[in-house]
Amino acid sequence: MQRKTLIIGACGQIGSELVRILRAQQGTDNIIATDIKASNREVVDSGIFEILDAKSREEIRSAIERHNIGTVYLMAALLSAKAEQYPEKAWRLNMSSLFNVLELAREGLINRIFWPSSIAVFGPTTPKVNTPQHTIMEPTTVYGITKQVGERWCDYYFSRYGVDIRSIRYPGIISWRTAPGGGTTDYAVEIFHEALEKGHYNCFLSEDTRLPMMFMDDAIKATLDIMNAPSEDVLIRSSYNLEGVSFSPGELVASIQEHLPEFTVEYNPDFRQAIADSWPNSIDDTPAREHWGWDHNFNLKDITAEMLTKLRQSSMI
Ligand code: AKB
């Protein structure tokens, strides 16, 4: 009998897209969506959904045993901006959830795990342009510390216990269906909503803050590509660098203004500026391209056109 897939953090920005695509690919009943709250109607109404606290190993164990789970996508986390406000909560959630799935895999209950890392693993001492896969990593944010430590544990559980864990360092993810929450790169989604709704945006990062970004479709493609890659092709078991595009708020505004010439922006950097300043401007993802064939499809122009079209078509705006 085919073992099923458990998605933890299924109502979030990336989790909800994974649920939709995996249900279509593998059959609705083979995907078990879980989250701490039933906060995404589409996820909850389109198949099996359960409330699950990722901090509880017993709740995860019970879901795995009841549903005959083989693969786990652990998408629950407190992101960078939220984690600065709630450091202890972020540490507890981000670390205990990872430890729970790693331990359950070590016990033999899980065959394969996906765990997202982030560009937040890098810090101010990291080379900023074309940041290499292997480089100085001294994160200065709570979120970055949890991801950096998490990467070390992933590598350890793979080397020591053979746990099949796969991970990528997501840049900022731009999507139109589900909004992100609590991140520093969230401006790049908010800006599209405000451009269409109000014609004006108050940006919390400065005009020239260049960050690595990616369209959701590319992020999902990367996630499924690494999960479907033969084990011998996944040579890095901490986490892979991944780049789609990189741009600044100023460049994104110019791209939106090609469609909406009246759109205006003001820049009022807040505490998130320091977080963004500690991260790379762009990423070198050669190992992901060479090892398991990663390639992105969407550049800034494509992302802008797709976001405006899809948001206009959806009932949201
Ligand atoms: C955040 O801004 O915290 C996230 C990330 C880059 O991991 N989007």
Domain-located, residue 39:
yes
pLDDT at 316 over 60: no
Of 190, 224, 241, the residue at which a domain comes to its end is 241
User: Of the residues 94, 118, 131, 245, which should be mutated to test ligand 1's pocket, given the most ligand atoms within 8 Å of the CB?
Assistant: 118
Looking at the structure, tell me whether residues 209 and 142 fall in a common domain. no
Number of domains present in the structure of the chain: 2
Instruction: State the CATH number of the domain containing residue 195.
Output: 3.90.25
Please tell me if the CB atom of residue 188 comes closer than 6 angstroms to any atom of ligand 1.
no
Express each pLDDT in 64-76 by its tens digit: 999 999 999 999 9
Looking at the structure, tell me whether residues 177 and 167 fall in a common domain. no
Looking at the structure, tell me whether residues 220 and 80 fall in a common domain. yes
Nearest to 213 by CA among 161, 181, 251, 178: 251
Looking at the structure, tell me whether residues 115 and 148 fall in a common domain. yes
Distance from Cα 70 to the centre of ligand 1, integer Å: 28
Distance from Cα 29 to the centre of ligand 1, integer Å: 31
Nearest to 278 by CA among 203, 211, 199, 182: 211
Domain-located, residue 308:
yes
pLDDT at 1 over 90: no
- pLDDT band (50, 70, 90) for residue 2: confident
> Which SS3 state, helix, strand or coil, does residue 173 take?
strand
Give the atom of ligand 1 at the shortest distance from the alpha carbon of 186. Answer: 2
CA distance 63 to 74: 13
Q: Which of 73, 86, 143, 170 is catalytic?
A: 143
Express each pLDDT in 16-56 by its tens digit: 999 999 999 999 999 999 999 999 999 999 999 999 999 99
Q: Crossing angle for the helix pair 187-197 and 249-257, nearest 10 degrees?
A: 30
Looking at the structure, tell me whether residues 153 and 33 fall in a common domain. yes
Main-chain phi, psi angles of 131, to 5 degrees: -50, 120
CA distance 125 to 155: 23
Main-chain phi, psi angles of 114, to 5 degrees: -110, 130
Please tell me if the CB atom of residue 100 comes closer than 6 angstroms to any atom of ligand 1.
no
pLDDT at 104 over 90: yes
pLDDT at 114 over 70: yes
Annotated catalytic residue 143? yes
Looking at the structure, tell me whether residues 16 and 151 fall in a common domain. yes
Express each pLDDT in 228-248 by its tens digit: 999 999 999 999 999 999 999
Please tell me if the CB atom of residue 172 comes closer than 6 angstroms to any atom of ligand 1.
yes
Domain membership of residue 116 as a residue range: 4-126+138-171+215-241
**Cα R_g (the chain), whole angstroms:** 19
Q: Which H or E run includes 165? A: strand 164-166
Domain-located, residue 133:
no
Looking at the structure, tell me whether residues 105 and 236 fall in a common domain. yes
> What is the value of pTM for the model shown?
0.97
pLDDT at 315 over 80: no
Q: Which H or E run includes 102? A: helix 87-106
Q: How many percent of the chain have pLDDT more than 70?
A: 99
Domain-located, residue 132:
no
